Chain A
Amino acid sequence: MEETEKKHQENKPHIKQLQQTVGSGIAINTGGLDAFVIAGEKALKVYTEDTADKTYRVLIEKMHEGAVTLNKDGTVLYCNSYFANLVSLPLQKVPGTIFKNYISDTSKERFVALLERNNGEPVKEEVHISSNDGKEIPVLMSINTLLINDISVLSIIVTDLTSQNKIQQELKLKSAELEQKNIELKKANQNLETRVLERTGELEKLNLELNNLSSSKDKFLSVISHDLRNPLSALLTSIVVLNIKTEDDVFRKIRPLVRIIDTTSHRILQQLNDLLAWAQGQQHKTILNPAKLNLAYKVDRSLELLIEIAAQKKIVLENKVPIDIYINADKIMLGSIIQNLVTNAIKFTPQNGLITVTANIINHMVEISVTDSGIGMEEVTRKNLFTNQKLTSVPGTNNEKGTGLGLVLVKDFVNQNGGTIRVESKSETGTNFIFTMPKFEDH
């Protein structure tokens, strides 16, 4: 009995262990445990149920990266199916092989160097692997040393860079193309700039030549008209002397002739003055001295100079400009405008005609009209009136001649003073020249 008791005491711990084991077995059968833990001599041993580590295992098995573990001599201990696919071998054919044999010859040295660098620290490097069907595949290898149950293994993650490299290459290609395009564009731009510069240079040169030509022409006209005025003055003085001595019988007989010479000479003088004024205007286009002018007074001064010529055709000159209109214009130019228009009117008005100057204010401008009872003009003549493209002169009613320059000059002067000019005319019913000048305004 005593012996039985003793044995029972000895077996107590075994019974306890057995009870626990049996209980665990029941728990495992009902799915209530994750793992068995047994204290070994060196460390704890953990026996897990399949589902416990499954998550990590499946993660490695199914991931889209190659996973390989190597023995320290480089033998493959484990690989996942992604890696086996990468090297085009059945999964069961890869473990047991030498991993270095998968590295392509061009990358082998780098791979060996990479292994040497891996001194417990994780390392990464881009290498090429050769697959069983002869493909060269660029990959990124991440190598780490692990200690699994006393066995030191190298764990390698292999990332396929094919598509990544392809994209990079395409990008590089596109980039290069873009750069090429850019260079071409720059070149084209430079060519264009050069051509523009060349053309501009040519144009400037031509312009200069043209200006030189134009100014020498203007100078020429100016000199000629000036030089012609001097002998004409002498002629006019002689005519005055001739007119004084009309008491003499001989002179009485030639008196009509003297009068013709007198008129013609004055007309030549007028035309020369026009020419000179125009030529000078062309040479110094910017010289303009606007001032406050009483229009009625200025019209009177201009008409006075023309009374003689008008009288020869028994034409009446009438100034109907209101006395209180003031304009802001260049004195000499205004005189020239009125004299030209009135002279023109006299030319195309038959004997006993009437020429009227009127003016009225429209907003900030003064509209001035020179109306005659003359022969009017044809539509064609009217259209070409103010252009010097085709200088034409129509003979007057007494067959007076002109240069055709007068109206061009008038338009130029009107425009320079900030006004406009137009003409209303019908054949046989007279002509009406209407121009505007800025009204003088106190500020």
Chain B
Amino acid sequence: MSKIKTVSKTAKDPDEEKYIFRLFVTGILANSARAVINIKEICEKYLKDRYELEIIDIYQQPELAITEDVIAIPLLIKKSPLPEARLMGDLSDTEKVLEGLHLFN
């Protein structure tokens, strides 16, 4: 069943650190949905097979939101590699997202 996992076991470069994202959303609300679509696109395009994405509905899993001090939705947190980075909004401006996540350093 590995095919349905978002993490590929055959990373292209095993030395390169894996990107771990957490996206906090609210159910099926518009900005949340847009955020899901956008981050998915960005990850597939720039980080294919090198990322792990968890999408957390704060309605259904509020306990995960509390540990991360979420104050506005949608919120994307880059957990790894460090430093941790946070972005709010629907993530529709790809350039800003890439910049905010320090993907071009």
Give Cα distance in the complex from A93 to B64, angstroms: 13
Give Cα distance in the complex from A57 to B29, angstroms: 11
Q: Does A77 contact B (CB under 8 A)?
A: yes
Is there contact, CB below 8 Å, between A153 and B33?
yes
Give Cα distance in the complex from A98 to B34, angstroms: 16
Interface residue ranges of A57-101 to B (CB < 8 Å) = 57, 60-61, 69, 71, 75, 77-78, 80-81, 87, 89, 91-98, 101
Selected contact of A91 from candidates B32, B40, B61, CB within 8 Å: B61
Is there contact, CB below 8 Å, between A75 and B28?
no
Give Cα distance in the complex from A61 to B55, angstroms: 16
Given contacts A61-B59, A61-B60, A78-B28, contact A101 B37 (CB under 8 A): no
Q: Give the secondary structure class of A's interface.
A: mixed
> Inside 8 A of A78's CB, which chain B residues have their CB?
25, 27-28, 33, 57
Q: Does A120 contact B (CB under 8 A)?
A: no
Q: Does B1 contact A (CB under 8 A)?
A: yes
From A75, A96, A148, A153, residue with most partner B Cβ within 10 Å: A96
Q: Does A5 contact B (CB under 8 A)?
A: no
Is there contact, CB below 8 Å, between B33 and A151?
yes
Interface digits, B52-81 against A, CB 8 Å rule (1 contact, 0 not)? Answer: 011111011100100000000000000000
Interface residue ranges of B24-57 to A (CB < 8 Å) = 25, 27-30, 32-34, 36-37, 39-40, 53-57
Is there contact, CB below 8 Å, between B28 and A153?
yes
> Inside 8 A of B29's CB, which chain A residues have their CB?
149
Selected contact of A93 from candidates B6, B27, B32, CB within 8 Å: B6
Is there contact, CB below 8 Å, between B56 and A92?
yes
Given contacts A57-B27, A78-B27, A148-B28, contact A91 B6 (CB under 8 A): no
* Closest chain A residue to B64, Cβ basis: A92
Given contacts A77-B37, A93-B54, A96-B40, contact A102 B4 (CB under 8 A): yes
Give Cα distance in the complex from A148 to B4, angstroms: 26
* Closest chain A residue to B35, Cβ basis: A77
Interface residue ranges of A341-362 to B (CB < 8 Å) = none
Is there contact, CB below 8 Å, between B36 and A77?
yes
Given contacts A78-B27, A149-B30, contact A95 B36 (CB under 8 A): yes
> Inside 8 A of A80's CB, which chain B residues have their CB?
60
Q: Does B12 contact A (CB under 8 A)?
A: no
Is there contact, CB below 8 Å, between A77 and B54?
no
Is there contact, CB below 8 Å, between B60 and A96?
no
Count chain A residues whose beta carbon lies closer than 8 angstroms to a beta carbon of B. Answer: 32
Q: Does A132 contact B (CB under 8 A)?
A: yes
Is there contact, CB below 8 Å, between A75 and B1?
no
CB distance from B69 to the nearest CB of A (A): 17
Given contacts A91-B61, A96-B53, A96-B55, contact A101 B36 (CB under 8 A): no
Is there contact, CB below 8 Å, between B61 and A92?
yes
Give Cα distance in the complex from A148 to B33, angstroms: 9
> Inside 8 A of A69's CB, which chain B residues have their CB?
28, 33
> Inside 8 A of A92's CB, which chain B residues have their CB?
22, 54-57, 61, 64
CB distance from B95 to the nearest CB of A (A): 21
* Closest chain A residue to B2, Cβ basis: A132
* Closest chain B residue to A100, Cβ basis: B4
> Inside 8 A of B61's CB, which chain A residues have their CB?
91-92
Is there contact, CB below 8 Å, between B60 and A75?
no
Q: Does A130 contact B (CB under 8 A)?
A: yes
> Inside 8 A of A148's CB, which chain B residues have their CB?
28, 30, 33
> Inside 8 A of B28's CB, which chain A residues have their CB?
69, 77-78, 148, 153
Give Cα distance in the complex from A184 to B82, angstroms: 77
CB distance from A116 to the nearest CB of B (A): 22
Q: Does A32 contact B (CB under 8 A)?
A: no
Is there contact, CB below 8 Å, between B1 and A130?
yes
CB distance from B94 to the nearest CB of A (A): 17
CB distance from A168 to the nearest CB of B (A): 28
Q: Does A150 contact B (CB under 8 A)?
A: yes
A residues contacting B by CB (< 8 A) are 57, 60-61, 69, 71, 75, 77-78, 80-81, 87, 89, 91-98, 101-102, 130-134, 148-151, 153
Q: Apart from A78-B27, A134-B1, what are 16 other A-B pairs with CB-CB below 8 Å?
A: A57-B59, A71-B37, A78-B28, A92-B22, A92-B55, A92-B57, A93-B6, A94-B55, A96-B39, A97-B6, A131-B1, A132-B4, A148-B28, A148-B33, A149-B29, A149-B33
B residues contacting A by CB (< 8 A) are 1, 3-6, 22-23, 25, 27-30, 32-34, 36-37, 39-40, 53-57, 59-61, 64
What are the nearest 8 A-B pairs in CB distance? A149-B30, A95-B55, A101-B4, A92-B54, A78-B28, A92-B56, A77-B33, A132-B1
6 contacts between A and B (CB under 8 A): A71-B33, A78-B33, A92-B22, A101-B3, A134-B1, A149-B33
